[in-house]
């Protein structure tokens, strides 16, 4: 069993769960990357599926435009597995703080910002999956005085127009 942790230096590392011994490490940035322009820390959470680790990296989008990367890593390898453990790498995303999701063997990563250089690698026909719904609600323990107003803004006609322009359908 492993504990897998993306770290602020741009590396992701796997540790033996019982002893804390480092098993492997993987640099999520290309070797020619330079902080802070093209080298990123890891903000997202790694996801493990069938002994593979899926993770995106990229700085907070509020820091401006920049590159991001999405990786699939073989978590059975040991040592510095930056080269030997990479199953695949996708570099056509922008900054990403999103954690990937996996359902039925399909990896979803949602932070590909609209940009002419971003390439859609595939679209699943509607008949191949259940409808995807992104729910929104106020939590019962919310103490933010702005939460209700923010929810109202997200449900406004102006927000509906923005969501629909991006391909979403608003439910009533």
Return the CATH number at 13: 2.40.128.630
Q: What pLDDT is stored for residue 2 in this prediction?
A: 94
Q: What distance, in Å, lies between the first and last C-alpha atoms of the chain?
A: 44
> With contact defined as beta carbons under 8 Å apart, do 171 and 154 qualify?
no
**Together in a domain, 87 and 141:** no
Judge if the upstream peptide bond of residue 110 is cis by omega within 30 degrees of 0: no
**Together in a domain, 74 and 156:** no
Choosing from 85, 100, 124, the residue where a domain stops is 124
**Together in a domain, 96 and 143:** no
Q: What pLDDT is stored for residue 18 in this prediction?
A: 94
**Together in a domain, 105 and 162:** no
**Together in a domain, 33 and 53:** yes
Q: How many domains does the chain divide into?
A: 2
**Together in a domain, 120 and 138:** no
Q: What pLDDT is stored for residue 27 in this prediction?
A: 94
Q: What pLDDT is stored for residue 9 in this prediction?
A: 86
User: Which residue stretches of the chain have pLDDT < 70?
Assistant: 36-37, 60-62, 110-123
Domain that holds residue 138: 133-172
**Together in a domain, 57 and 115:** yes
């Amino acid at each position: 069993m492993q504990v897998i942790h993306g770290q602020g230096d741009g590396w992701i590392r796997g540790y033996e769960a019982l002893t804390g011994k480092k098993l492997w490490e993987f640099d999520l940035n290309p070797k020619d990357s330079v902080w802070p322009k093209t080298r990123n820390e890891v903000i997202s959470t790694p996801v493990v599926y069938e002994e593979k680790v899926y993770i995106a990296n990229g700085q907070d989008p509020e820091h401006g435009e920049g590159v991001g990367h999405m990786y699939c890593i073989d978590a059975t390898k040991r040592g510095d597995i930056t080269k030997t453990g990479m199953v695949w790498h996708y570099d056509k995303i922008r900054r990403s703080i999103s954690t990937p999701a996996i359902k039925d063997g399909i990896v979803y990563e949602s932070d590909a910002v609209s940009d002419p250089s971003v390439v859609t690698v595939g679209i699943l026909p509607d008949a191949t999956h259940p409808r995807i719904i992104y729910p929104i609600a106020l939590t019962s323990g919310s103490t933010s005085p702005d939460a209700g107003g923010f929810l109202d803004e997200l449900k406004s006609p102006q927000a509906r127009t923005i969501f629909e322009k991006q391909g979403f359908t608003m439910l009533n």
